[in-house]
Amino acid sequence: MTDWGLPDMNFQQLRIIRETVRRNFNLTEAAQALMTSQSGVSKHIRDLEEELGLEIFVRRGKRLLGLTEPGREVVVIAERVLLESENMMQVSQQFSKSDTGTLTIATTHTQARYTLPAVIAKFKTAYPDVRLVLHQASPKEIAQVLIEGSTDLGIATDTLEDNAGILTFPYYTWSHGVVVPPGHPLLSAGKPTLESIAEHPVITYDEGLTGRARIDQAFERAGIVPDIAMSALDADVIKAYVELGLGVGIIASMAFDPARDRGLELIDGGHLFEPSTSSLAIRRGRFLRSYVYRFIELCVPELTEASVRRAEASI
């Protein structure tokens, strides 16, 4: 080419440096993720560096170790470019196939199992041709797939990372409850207290999940150290062990279904634990198909497309 100074990078190069960063500077992995060859990846990086006239990556010998100072800036811009290019595809499909496509939701077990089914049922009848992908993940993973751009919507209770690229909206507020087998002493002593609960082994969520922080907080404030006999990733597991008599369970109250969970009793815990709020989360700057907004509206009627867009526009 004639060195005319026009930018001559290409999208593949940008994808490659983005992926290289995501894969911790392992070109082999990056190549696999992009379904291409290492050699191509290597060359593309060198070409881009040459074109920009600087080194993007810090190298020791032949290994890539990290980003240089300018490299950090370059990657940030590359991510913006790629985000917009993906938006372009989305916008196009919005027009060409407005009610078909894929809605990808990353969420925790609790939401997927107890909250979303009703919403999803409604959504499916309204948009039968939208393929729904439910990606079950931890809050941290949810934040990651959001910023990566592989997910439209994240739904979780706990910290969706205070990442500037992620925008959250309150979904609904709930509190924990206590589940016990029928005939359990806690059922006959009036409203249970933290103290009375702590007399039994406790089974609840793993750390960082479904408001576990609220539970720890409550006991800590009361100066009580409960005997956490077991912790699990989801309420179904907890309930199963409570049913076996291994202890009392503390779960999100919406995870209790009187009809299904006949072998258990739920005691409201609103007076014991701070309420938790589950949130909807989207990637700032990502174009969302109109049905994504419809889905959000099904979750929270006040969250119209206009209001979400407005929130995104503000800092």
Partner DNA sequence: TATCCTTACGGAATTCGTAAGCATG
Partner DNA sequence: CATGCTTACGAATTCCGTAAGGATA
CB of 209 to DNA, least distance (A): 31
φ, ψ for residue 271, nearest 5 deg: -85, -5
Indicate which of its own copies, DNA, none lies near residue 37 (CB less than 5 to 8 Å, by partner kind). Answer: DNA
Using the rule CB under 8 A, which residue among 87, 100, 193, 231 binds its own copies? Answer: 87
Using the rule CB under 8 A, which residue among 43, 59, 63, 97 binds its own copies? Answer: 97
C-alpha distance from residue 71 to each of 56, 65, 88 (Å): 4, 12, 25
* DSSP state letters, 207-241: TTSTTHHHHHHHHHHTT----EEEEESSHHHHHHH
Indicate which of DNA, its own copies, none lies near residue 96 (CB less than 5 to 8 Å, by partner kind). Answer: its own copies
Structure tokens at 20: 């290289």
Q: What 3-state DSSP class applies to 206?
A: coil
CB 145 within 8 A of CB 282: no
CB of 107 to its own copies, least distance (A): 24
Q: How crowded is the C-beta side of 90, counted as CA atoms within 13 Å?
A: 20
91 near its own copies, judged by CB under 8 A: yes
Query: Which residue, 87 or 159, has its beta carbon nearer to its own copies?
Result: 87
196 near its own copies, judged by CB under 8 A: no
Using the rule CB under 7 A, which residue among 47, 274, 305, 312 binds DNA? Answer: 47
Q: What 3-state DSSP class applies to 174?
A: strand
CB 16 within 8 A of CB 38: no
Task: Enumerate residues 15-74 that contact its own copies by CB under 8 A.
Answer: 35, 52-54, 69-70, 73-74
59 near DNA, judged by CB under 7 A: yes
84 near its own copies, judged by CB under 8 A: yes
Show Cβ contacts of residue 285 under 8 Å, excluding neighbours closer than 6 positions. 80, 83, 87, 165, 312
Q: Which residues bind DNA (CB under 7 A)?
A: 1, 10, 12, 25-28, 35-40, 42-47, 59-64
Q: Which residues bind its own copies (CB under 8 A)?
A: 4, 7-11, 35, 52-54, 69-70, 73-74, 77-78, 80-81, 84-89, 91-97, 313-315
